[in-house]
Amino acid sequence: MYNSFLSFVSVIHTPWEARKLPDLLLAIHPILKEHFSDFEIILVNNGVTSPIASLIEPLDSDLKHHIFLLNLSSRTDKNHATVAGLDRSNGDYTLLFDVELYEHPEYILQLFEKSRAHFDIVYLRSKERNVSIRYRPFYSIFYYIIRHYSNLEIDENAHNTRIISRRALNSLLRLRENLRYMKAIYSMVGYQTSYLEVDIPLPPIEDNFSDRFKTSLVAITSFTTFLRSLLLWIFIFSFLFLLGVIFNALKVKFTGIDVFGNHGDPWSGWTFLVILISVFFAITCLNLYIMSIYLSNIYNEIKHRPLYIIESIKRF
């Protein structure tokens, strides 16, 4: 038996997960009771109307004694519901466990054993991800932006299921952001991180695609510099376009032939009007880029993200 207090956290997000909850609890209880000196089971009801309490009542009293059911007043983002469970966690280790893995309670011990090898965060990693052809471009673009426009190290095949040490969880809970993308926050927290590779594929991206798309927008706008970089390239393009338009307008004015070799007689004031419009277009793009820098700086300041996180202090 491990001399550790384990907090088991699971979010019930759909009616299907609510129906499978008793199976999950019956599967994990023998493992938690046999291998840990103390444990608690924190269940977060994220707006599911199914009577979850009535599903727990028939269970053994020895199991129910360890269960805490958090009923959120209204349905919220799954990332926020996860934070509700993490806030309530009191254990030396906290295990986030998806209900869909109810047939694989052995992952509890495997994750815990891996964490004992001096890892603060250990997650399940799938060997593959089922993505339909129509959603593959979206999936590829999202992770391309994450990889190239942020310093985050996000495993695109990572499951939500993971175990977190007490010190890593304390640091994670300091990041009180309203717009949350949990995989990015795990990466920001840092600490020693590892994974267990499993054969269970990640859910297809088309499942609950609307929520996934909203989460992707949160991740791109909150944790990357993609939009600011995009405005920079728009300004550069507008400036190059300005130079090309000025050259073409002057060439037509003095030679009667444009850069494509077409003949034409410019109307009176045409050259001046084209140059004026192009200049204002470039200035507008420059102003948008400058404003994006200020807005980005303000956005980062109001988040109050910690400047650093100390992993440990050693005296000699």
The predicted model gives 101-124 an average pLDDT of 87
Judged by average pLDDT, the poorest of 2-16, 161-175, 208-222 is 208-222
With a cut of 60, say whether residue 47 has pLDDT above it.
yes
pLDDT of amino acid 269: 63
Percent of the chain scoring above 70 in pLDDT = 81
- Where b means 16+ CB within 10 Å and e means fewer, 152-165 reads bebeebbbbbbbbb
> 18 and 50 in contact (C-beta within 8 Å)?
yes
The predicted model gives 138-145 an average pLDDT of 78
> 259 and 247 in contact (C-beta within 8 Å)?
yes
pLDDT of amino acid 270: 65
Mean pLDDT for the chain?
Answer: 78
Task: Grade residue 94 by pLDDT with cuts at 50, 70 and 90.
Answer: very high
- Distance between CA 111 and CA 275 in Å, rounded? 65
With a cut of 70, say whether residue 100 has pLDDT above it.
yes
Higher-pLDDT residue of 164 and 79 is 164
With a cut of 70, say whether residue 21 has pLDDT above it.
yes
Domain 2-223 sits in CATH at: 3.90.550.10
Residues 6+ apart with CB under 8 A from 173: 83, 86, 87
- Reported pTM: 0.71
Task: Grade residue 302 by pLDDT with cuts at 50, 70 and 90.
Answer: low
With a cut of 70, say whether residue 285 has pLDDT above it.
yes
pLDDT of amino acid 145: 81
The predicted model gives 129-153 an average pLDDT of 76
Task: Grade residue 290 by pLDDT with cuts at 50, 70 and 90.
Answer: confident
223-247 residue pLDDT tens: 777 777 888 888 888 888 888 877 7
Task: Grade residue 95 by pLDDT with cuts at 50, 70 and 90.
Answer: very high
198-222 residue pLDDT tens: 877 666 554 566 667 777 777 777 7
Higher-pLDDT residue of 213 and 99 is 99
pLDDT of amino acid 292: 75
pLDDT of amino acid 316: 43
pLDDT of amino acid 152: 77
With a cut of 80, say whether residue 301 has pLDDT above it.
no
* Residue found under tokens 């100390």: 310
pLDDT of amino acid 8: 92
The predicted model gives 68-89 an average pLDDT of 83
253-275 residue pLDDT tens: 777 776 666 766 666 666 667 77
- Distance between CA 77 and CA 124 in Å, rounded? 22
